[in-house]
Amino acid sequence: MAQDTVFFRNNVSFVIFLGIGILLLLIFSFYIDKIPSMLLFGVLTSIFLIIGIFLAKNAGDTIRSDPNGVLRAAIEVNNGIYTTFDKVDYTHYMATYPNQLGLLTLFRIYAAVTTDPEKLFLFQVVFICASNFLLFQVTHLLFENKRIDNITILLSHLFLPSIFYTLWIYGDIPGLFLILLSLYTYLLYSKYKNLFYLIFSALFLTLACLIRANYLVFLVLLTLLSLINFLKRPQILSVIALFIFPLSYGAMSHVMQNHYETLIQEKITYPPQKAWVVMGLSDKVASPGYWDGYTTFIRDWNDYDDVKTKENVNRDFNERVKVLTSDWEYALDFFYRKLNVTWNEPTFQSIFVGPLTAYNQTVETKLLNNLYGEGTLYKLYNRYLSVFITIVYISCLVFGISRLFQKSSDYNFLILIPFIYLIGGFTFHLFWETKSRYVFPYIYFLMPLVAVTISDFVNKLLKVNSK
């Protein structure tokens, strides 16, 4: 199984399954508000825990790719060995990716506790279950509606990539937990106007961004929301909220870099951020905009000369922009294909990041071998998620259109956070390096909006029946 994405045109059976899926969701939604929310969450979380524990125990003990590189670096640093920072070649992970200092720090904590893959997988399971709980709590703060709460609980557990991501020990899942914690405390701040909540929101979001830089999109979002609040009500607390997120991230980034520079007795320099844009605009691999090795090798190719690296990145960037702007037909085709492999791959690489024989990984059961070997179970999983994600996209389109017909005075910008986050992520990955795995958080955040759309439809049906 490679990172190449192969698409098949949907047939009549897909439409039938889509109809069945929508019908089942509506039937459940009619009665779901009768179930206590904590009971529903408890039952579904128990199922997730069973699946997660099963995966952790049977997914083998090989950690590959970036997670393996960071974990090895963390173990070495904990043992006082800093060769990972040596600018020798691309195999020295932290010299190649010094922007991973936050993730390195998290993995150093992991390594101080355990390096057993099974236990690390279980950490991820806990993070995902906690994230589902926070999404439920965020939904409750936003809408204060039991039916919407319960539909969100159901959807977050039906969105199965999250539980399979537990086998990819990286910054995605801990970062997701932290931005949900940040959003939850930010909503509490918005409700009670308490500085305590604002400080904790900034702290959690800073940690998320240090662990996984892609979550800076969410930092920009909360900063923009704080700006809107400041323009509406220019108060001291609004001024603090406007600056606390970027200042907190900037300060902690500086402190962390100084710590590691003191540790290794050497200045840490970074590859140009534009290198990831060059890769995001590249068409060298089957899936346009995917990782093609550019950011891994660019410093090695230039003997870690930062001035030379920057010059070559700028040259490559200008050349690629020239190609795209000189042929609009090709440019449209390129971005169409890039959007397709990013947003229209229903598994969001949740199986690809698991144990694959192509990477010398093994699984312990026939069930998992069928799933990760692209057998019948994988095909069913793919088809199920194709239906699920189609329902998500349709529901969010309906949600967005319905909000366009509301008066601006009726807008609650906090309710629009998932939608704005999606727009931010869409724009960011249009130009930046992309993978379908990268957009999982934006889709995950849409679950409350899907729940609102379904709940609104159910309420309208109930009103019709009551007449």
- Residue 101 inside a domain? The answer is yes
Mean pLDDT (whole number) for 184-192: 95
432-435 long-range Cβ contacts below 8 angstroms, 24+ apart: 432/276, 432/277, 432/280, 433/276, 433/277, 433/279, 433/280, 433/289, 433/290, 433/291, 433/295, 434/280, 434/289, 434/290, 434/338, 434/341, 434/342, 435/3, 435/290, 435/291, 435/342, 435/349
383 close to 17: Cβ distance less than 8 angstroms: yes
What is the secondary structure of 251-292 as a DSSP string? HHHHHHHHHHHHHHTS------THHHHHHHT--SSSSTTS--
- Residue 211 inside a domain? The answer is yes
- Residue 6 inside a domain? The answer is no
- Residue 5 inside a domain? The answer is no
Query: How many other C-beta atoms are found inside a 10 Å radius of the C-beta of residue 191?
Result: 11
State the residue range of the domain holding 175: 12-466
Contacts of 297 (CB under 8 A, 6+ apart): 90
CA distance 229 to 187: 13
- pLDDT band of 379, cuts 50, 70, 90: very high
Number of domains in the chain: 1
- Residue 92 inside a domain? The answer is yes
Please give the mean pLDDT across all residues of the chain: 92
Question: Over 70: is that where the pLDDT of 467 sits?
Answer: no
- Residue 366 inside a domain? The answer is yes
pLDDT tens readout for residues 336-372: 999 999 999 999 999 999 998 888 888 888 999 999 9
pLDDT tens readout for residues 261-292: 999 999 999 999 999 999 999 998 888 999 98
Considering the entire predicted model, what is its pTM?
Answer: 0.94
361 close to 58: Cβ distance less than 8 angstroms: no
- Residue 277 inside a domain? The answer is yes
pLDDT tens readout for residues 103-140: 999 999 999 999 999 999 999 999 999 999 999 999 99
- Residue 2 inside a domain? The answer is no
452 close to 177: Cβ distance less than 8 angstroms: no
Mean pLDDT (whole number) for 409-430: 87
Give the pLDDT of residue 417: 93
Please name which of 247, 282, 209 lies closest in space to residue 432, comparing C-alpha atoms: 282
